[in-house]
């Protein structure tokens, strides 16, 4: 019979924001003020929160004072080095005329070299002090936490008055996300992933509105399974438990994006996803159960009821096959009757292709 035939992979996915960032602080201190609330839309660069700046301000003042003191000491060292150089020049002229001793000349030379080295040492200390002052200024700037992206506040993890410690990890203050579009992370089984390709059409529904289908196009199929990025110890534990139970389900993530202008789609929603592997419209089809073995050329054997009532073998080329109905591309004419395995077992009449 002629009909539309479509081959789909059904999978479950999870909705994520198309972009989400954790907003943290690089300095320790008390959260002095929180400028935004949960659900608020913010612009990139907008002030979100402030850490108490007292400690960074004191550190900056101390660094600047140290820099000022070192600069004054360097000027004194430069003046001393200049005097030592003049004395060395005077001693050099006098020794030529043999009116000074070799010891006095060598003492003047050593003093001049020492004073020049002192200036160089102060230069290094000043460079280090400038670096410390720059770090202190940067830390003071870090007390003002701004939005790295435009989006919505989807999580508030720290409250006003709470003390945060930025030691080895960055404490998270807020979570921001772009919700104008969503990413669907679809879990595809290892049995199906070999047929799933970038560019294939997809659609999905969510539990809250099962009648609405959201269309999309696959943009990525991850090469490694879901738990591949987990620590080795966790993977070993998962494998051990899987081996004990006798089964180990492997899934690969397929990703696609969908517009979300009305903000109806939310982070964490479950998506029932249908990935279209192939579709043909108004084509000649037969029951997939009529197909028998496949040869090296890709053709399938099937049984056809001849005009005289005999059952004969035929080779056909198949297009889209969803394992219920199969598109016949070549080898069978419309109206011919095919024999399915179920018919042979039950002794029923063959079914005609139309």
**Interval 307-318: pLDDT, tens:** 888 899 999 999
Closest listed residue to residue 129, CA positions, set 213, 72, 198:
72
Closest listed residue to residue 66, CA positions, set 58, 77, 78:
58
Q: Which pair of structure tokens corresponds to residue 241? A: 């438990």
Whole-number Å distance between alpha carbons of 101 and 23: 72
- State the pLDDT confidence band at 276, using cuts at 50, 70 and 90: very high
Helix (H) / strand (E) containing 275: strand 270-287
pTM exceeds cut of 0.75: no
**Superfamily of 1-17+182-354 according to CATH:** Efflux pump adaptor protein, beta barrel domain (2.40.30.170)
CB 127 within 8 A of CB 142: no
Q: What angle do CA 197, 203, 209 make, to 5 degrees?
A: 155
DSSP secondary structure code for residue 342 in this structure: H
Tell me what the mean pLDDT of segment 117-125 comes to: 95
pLDDT at 201: 96
Q: How many CA atoms lie within 13 A of 6 on its CB side?
A: 11
- pLDDT tens per residue, range 48-76: 999 999 999 999 999 999 999 999 999 99
**β-bridge mates for residue 96, sequence order:** none
Provide, rounded to the nearest whole percent, the portion of the chain with pLDDT above 90: 69
Least confident segment among 11-15, 197-201, 333-337: 333-337
Give the orientation angle of helix 102-142 with respect to helix 54-96, to 10 degrees.
160
CATH of domain 18-53+150-177: 2.40.50.100
What is the bridge-based pairing of β-strands 151-156 and 41-42? antiparallel
3-state helix, strand, coil split of the chain in percent (to 5) is 30, 40, 30
CB 149 within 8 A of CB 21: yes
- State the pLDDT confidence band at 149, using cuts at 50, 70 and 90: very high
Tell me what the mean pLDDT of segment 207-231 comes to: 89
């Amino acid at each position: 019979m002629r009909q539309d035939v479509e081959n789909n992979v059904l999978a479950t996915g999870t909705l994520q924001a198309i972009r989400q960032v954790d907003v943290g602080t690089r300095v320790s201190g008390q959260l002095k003020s929180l400028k935004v609330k949960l659900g608020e839309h913010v612009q990139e660069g907008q002030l979100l929160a402030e850490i108490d700046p007292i400690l960074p301000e004191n550190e900056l003042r101390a660094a600047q004072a140290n820099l000022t003191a070192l600069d004054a000491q360097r000027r004194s060292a430069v003046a001393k080095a200049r005097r030592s150089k003049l004395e060395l020049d005077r001693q050099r002229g006098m020794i030529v005329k043999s009116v000074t001793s070799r010891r006095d000349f060598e003492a003047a030379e050593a003093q001049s070299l020492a004073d020049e080295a002192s200036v160089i040492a102060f230069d290094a200390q000043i460079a280090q002090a400038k670096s410390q002052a720059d770090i202190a200024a940067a830390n003071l700037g870090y007390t003002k936490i701004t939005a790295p992206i435009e989006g919505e506040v989807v999580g508030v993890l720290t409250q006003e008055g709470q003390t945060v410690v930025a030691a080895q990890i960055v404490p998270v203050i807020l979570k921001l996300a772009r919700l104008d579009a969503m990413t669907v992370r679809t879990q595809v089984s290892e049995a199906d992933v070999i047929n799933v390709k970038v560019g294939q059409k997809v659609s999905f529904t969510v539990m809250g509105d099962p009648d609405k289908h959201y269309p999309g196009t696959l943009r990525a199929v991850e090469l490694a399974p879901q738990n591949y990025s987990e620590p080795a110890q966790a993977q070993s534990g998962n494998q051990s438990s899987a081996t004990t139970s006798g089964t180990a389900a492997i899934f690969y993530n397929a990703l696609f994006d969908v517009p979300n202008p009305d903000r109806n789609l939310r982070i964490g929603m479950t998506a029932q996803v249908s990935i279209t592997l192939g579709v043909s419209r108004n084509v000649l089809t037969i029951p997939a159960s009529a197909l028998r073995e496949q040869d090296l050329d890709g053709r399938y054997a099937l049984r056809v009821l001849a005009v005289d009532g005999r059952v004969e073998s035929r080779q056909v080329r198949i297009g889209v096959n969803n394992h219920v109905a199969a598109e016949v591309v070549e080898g069978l004419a419309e109206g011919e009757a095919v024999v399915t395995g179920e018919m042979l077992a039950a002794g029923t009449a063959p079914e005609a292709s139309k």
